[in-house]
């Protein structure tokens, strides 16, 4: 890509990529190698931010806590973290990816954010889904928002998206783009032709909080558990920018996100702005966390 082409693309916004892939349970080295190939493919297409699925290095359906403990790694010094850090550094991009994290005897369903300068930070899933409650501890790092050269980035994982408080607090802390590594599964009672519940929730969250959301789901069936694919990228006005992806094929979705335009789009008309309209005389803007509201 020539310098002039790169500058023109930058003016249009940052190219982001959602990588929909199929990790294999327990095949960590193969999963990481495959993820690196997909990261490189996205970077070659011009992506500056690449999001991988939840537990992208290990697979999802652990038979026991002991199996998960054997596969989990410390972050960021573990081999998977180091591989993703090296890829981000060499390609000059940002990567958000789900990982099974071990901290001593404790296990977390986590995601790390890495960039051109190396490791940036970790998010630990707050809301555990189903059998995850037998495997992992609940996240204890809150909802960090990370300053980067492409905007303020935050992370949520899968079932976190069912809780409006997650996206609300991240947007209140200044997030521009929320990366969602996920392993969405079928929801009970879904009508045959209906959009995935996860997609509906994502669109609503993006619109009501004025944030862009990049969701990377996995595909396949693992130990009888099916996954639904349908990854998507939603802009800050709530309209899908790319996807939903296929329910059963690996693919990479791309979209451009202009952070400055996204921030302006929070103003819906001359009178209304989705963040400043909040009624702090009725409810606490930071939902009782005690976190300060950042200056904008």
Q: Tens-digit pLDDT profile for the chain (296 aa)? A: 444 444 445 668 999 999 999 999 999 999 999 999 999 999 999 999 999 999 999 999 999 999 999 999 999 999 999 999 999 999 999 999 999 999 999 999 999 999 999 999 999 999 999 999 999 999 999 999 999 999 999 999 999 999 999 999 999 999 999 999 999 999 999 888 889 999 999 999 999 999 999 999 999 999 999 999 999 999 999 999 999 999 999 999 999 999 999 999 999 999 999 999 999 999 999 999 999 887 66
The pLDDT of residue 24 is 97
Active-site residue (options: 158, 179, 215, 222): 158
State the pLDDT at residue 80: 98
Angle at 257 between CA 52 and CA 285, to 5 degrees: 85
Active site residue 125: yes
Q: Which of 54, 73, 101, 132 is catalytic?
A: 54
pLDDT at 190: 87
Planar angle of CA 267, 272, 278, nearest 5 degrees: 105
CA distance 34 to 40: 10
Question: DSSP state, 218?
Answer: B
CATH 3.60.110.10 matches 16-261 = yes
Q: Note the pLDDT of residue 295.
A: 65
Edge-first strand listing for the sheet containing 212-216: 145-148, 151-155, 177-181, 212-216, 232-234, 240-242
The one catalytic residue among 28, 125, 152, 173: 125
In terms of residues, how long is the chain? 296
Q: How far is CA 208 from CA 126, 177, 205, in A?
A: 21, 14, 5
CB contact at 8 A, 95 and 50? yes
| Structure token pair of residue 7 | 């500058």
Active site residue 54: yes
Q: Where along the chain do its domains lie?
A: 16-261
């Amino acid at each position: 890509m020539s310098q002039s082409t790169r500058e023109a693309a930058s003016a249009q916004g940052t190219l982001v990529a959602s990588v929909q892939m199929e990790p294999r349970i327990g095949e960590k080295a193969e999963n990481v190698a495959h993820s690196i190939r997909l990261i490189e493919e996205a970077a070659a297409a011009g992506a500056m931010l690449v999001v991988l699925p939840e537990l992208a290095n290990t697979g999802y359906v652990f038979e026991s806590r002991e199996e998960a403990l054997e596969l989990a790694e410390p972050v960021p010094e573990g081999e998977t973290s180091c591989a993703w850090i090296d890829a981000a550094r060499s390609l000059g991009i940002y990567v958000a990816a789900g990982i099974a994290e071990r901290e001593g005897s404790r296990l977390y369903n986590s995601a790390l954010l890495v960039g051109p300068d190396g490791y940036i930070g970790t998010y630990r899933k707050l809301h555990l889904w189903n059998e995850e409650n037998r495997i992992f501890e609940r996240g204890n790092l809150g909802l960090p928002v990370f300053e980067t050269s492409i905007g303020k980035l935050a992370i949520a994982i899968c079932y976190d998206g069912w809780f409006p408080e997650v996206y609300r607090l991240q947007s209140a802390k200044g997030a521009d783009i929320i990366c969602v590594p996920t392993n969405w599964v079928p929801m009970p009672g879904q009508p045959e032709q209906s959009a995935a519940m996860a997609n509906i929730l994502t669109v609503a969250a993006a619109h009501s909080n004025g944030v862009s959301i990049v969701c990377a789901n996995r595909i396949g069936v693992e130990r009888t558990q099916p996954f639904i694919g349908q990854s998507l990228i939603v802009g800050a006005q709530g309209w899908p920018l790319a996807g939903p992806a296929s329910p059963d094929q690996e693919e990479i979705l791309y979209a451009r996100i202009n952070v400055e335009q996204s921030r302006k789009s929070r103003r819906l008309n001359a009178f209304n702005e989705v963040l400043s309209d909040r009624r702090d005389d009725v409810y606490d803007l930071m939902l009782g966390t005690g976190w300060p509201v950042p200056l904008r």
